[in-house]
Structure 1
């Protein structure tokens, strides 16, 4: 009987009848995922959402705080640029550290940022007058004066080298430099090493350690040939206000000194070569507030955004940047500006002062090259991100990948 029924069903092309129903399957929940899969999912989410996701559960909070999450973000190429800056004050040797966090992104993509405090223990790192350089998710704070030295002896230089881990906002010490340096030192990441130059007394300009190179992987310092960009006719200049500038552009490390002295470095031969007079415009650009974005040098001069056309060896104005307040009317004695790369966009920061407070402003500018030899910019937004004490005298800005 059953054999005949089955045969008839097979012949007719219909499935045989089933008396037993398939059991209902439970819907898959994110809570049922193992930690490694959940970590992989969170690594693909923008870091802008992490402060919200951390409040969902202890499990989320634990994964978001783990170093494995940021290793996964780097492996998946999901890192994002984030702005960090510190403020210095005339009447206090301490500094305040901040990062910029986006406002409620549910309201739209161009809603701006606000400043969020970053812990900065006074005893662990230099307090003021320091140079910053980012290596991945680490920000290296170079030289300056430690809190107590600055407060007691008023000296703004030291051998100190400390690191802010932007993944969890913790500080650690790194091996000290061979030379004491202050905020006038210049630092550039080149071929995996941090090249630090200047920022020391003029009597050390000819010393072998005037330039040092730090390897973050081995945590060691190495010597670099002195480029002697402050030497004229065999005599060192006597001007105490000399400041060196360094720059990474088109895969090469450049160093600039005084009187248009400029050199380019060959790491294989540990040798500096002088640049021609046709690079004078580039020398002028790095003397202003500047940054490199997508291998193009941008700078701010006399109230205008400009860029350096490497092929033409000329400085040109960035077109189309409209909507910002008139910054030329600010008192140059107190007015400060800074610019930095934010994933292909420019972040431009400046300060304004009243009798009772100092305001830090920020603008985000998108950039576009047109017709090969034109650069255009558009202000996406600008706003005040922080109000602080009127004694604020300077700030330093850097972007890190997290």
Structure 2
């Protein structure tokens, strides 16, 4: 009896110590989640190491939604990049405060030529080439848990396609629309494919179009989320309507389409990456590009990607550091929309490694996590 009481006392003391260490163990689930919702992502990573319960809650979408509405989330930039001589591209993440690009440890299948769609908490990687052949494979990269999941494959194998997250014309729910990428066997019945998040299925969409566009070079969902503005590799401009399932040529052409890359729509204005380190802008109904002023120092850089993060423009460029070490630089730019002026808020090297001989930045976008 005495020994048994001693064990009980020891167990009680141990449980009390565990409660002090873990801090949140004794709280009801709702209160527990409510407390975690006030923490930063770095704090949640540390909390997740305490126990399986902490790990499960820290990675839940319910907690992400609570943190999002409480403005506890931070903008992380995710990059899909091929660093040579690595055999395949990898995911990297850029912390908003530390500003260092870190590799995400994931086992990925080797694929190039994919298209990407960013959702609230993750990124879809769609199609591409595997062993030199187009694939119908689709993966979802969960940016909360840093996990990759298989998604139901498309009906058509596609590579070099274009994809947008837009509002469906019938039920006004967001769906993924994928255009082209199967142009060797393309016709109006298989050129567009749609993914329904609720059913987890793909459906081919028969479209009405007087002319099948060639391979789409750039595409953007417009502000109403019901139209896609697209430019093919010959510079011809098209607009896709979800409500009418039509892909119509606008009768206009984009001059020098190879010199206009990474198109983005921001505050009713198109931006793109031009040649010679220039950032260009134009209004959707105008066809003459103008240069964003105030960024002249970037004209000496080889800019390789443009995206937006926290209402700021973000750009990446490749450079040679000391002793010919390969570096990837990053800059955040605020825009004064009235005069289309840019101001560099921060710039610096976010990756530096002597083991790499070159890089190809395939995708970059920001998410709040």
Q: Give your verdict on TM over 0.5.
A: yes
Give the secondary-structure state (helix, strand or coil) at the position aligned to 1:128: coil
- The structure 2 residue matched to 1:139, chosen from 123, 137, 154, is 123
The 8 Å contact of residues 234 and 257 in structure 2, kept in 1 or not, is answered as no
Give the secondary-structure state (helix, strand or coil) at the position aligned to 1:127: coil
Shift of 1:42: 3.2
Residue 178 (str. 1) matches residue 164 (str. 2):
no
Deviation sequence 1:163-212 (CA, Å, 0-9, x none):
11111011110111122222x22111111111112333x42243521221
| TM-score scaled by length of structure 2 | 0.77
CA 1:80 to 1:249, structure 2 compared with 1: closer, same or farther past 3 Å? farther
Task: Work out the CA distance in 2 between the residues paired with 1:142 and 1:127.
Answer: 10
The 8 Å contact of residues 209 and 246 in structure 2, kept in 1 or not, is answered as no
The 8 Å contact of residues 126 and 143 in structure 1, kept in 2 or not, is answered as no
Task: Work out the CA distance in 2 between the residues paired with 1:227 and 1:260.
Answer: 20
Task: Work out the CA distance in 2 between the residues paired with 1:194 and 1:54.
Answer: 32
- 1:2-401 correspondence runs (5 A): 34-47=28-41, 49-51=43-45, 58=51, 63-74=57-68, 76=70, 79-89=73-83, 92-104=86-98, 113-122=99-108, 125-146=109-130, 150=131, 155=132, 157-182=134-159, 184-191=160-167, 192-200=174-182, 202-206=183-187, 208-226=189-207, 242-251=215-224, 252-277=227-252, 280=253, 284=257, 287-302=260-275, 303-310=277-284, 312-321=286-295, 323-324=297-298, 326-327=300-301, 330=302, 337-353=304-320, 357-370=325-338, 374-388=339-353, 389-401=356-368
Q: How many residues align?
A: 334
CA 1:228 to 1:382, structure 2 compared with 1: closer, same or farther past 3 Å? farther
The 8 Å contact of residues 218 and 262 in structure 2, kept in 1 or not, is answered as no
Shift of 1:114: 0.5
The 8 Å contact of residues 260 and 274 in structure 2, kept in 1 or not, is answered as no
Task: Work out the CA distance in 1 between the residues paired with 2:281 and 2:38.
Answer: 34
Deviation sequence 1:86-108 (CA, Å, 0-9, x none):
2225654322211111345xxxx
Bigger Rg, structure 1 or 2: 1
Deviation sequence 1:308-327 (CA, Å, 0-9, x none):
22355542222223554711
Shift of 1:35: 4.0
Shift of 1:296: 2.7
Over aligned residue pairs, what C-alpha RMSD do you find?
A: 3.3
The 8 Å contact of residues 289 and 337 in structure 1, kept in 2 or not, is answered as no
CA 1:77 to 1:253, structure 2 compared with 1: closer, same or farther past 3 Å? farther
The 8 Å contact of residues 218 and 263 in structure 2, kept in 1 or not, is answered as no
Q: Which runs of 5+ in 2 are unaligned?
A: 1-22, 168-173
Q: Which runs of 5+ in 1 are unaligned?
A: 1-29, 105-112, 331-335
Task: Work out the CA distance in 1 between the residues paired with 2:259 and 2:176.
Answer: 18
The 8 Å contact of residues 163 and 174 in structure 1, kept in 2 or not, is answered as yes
Partner of 2:17: none
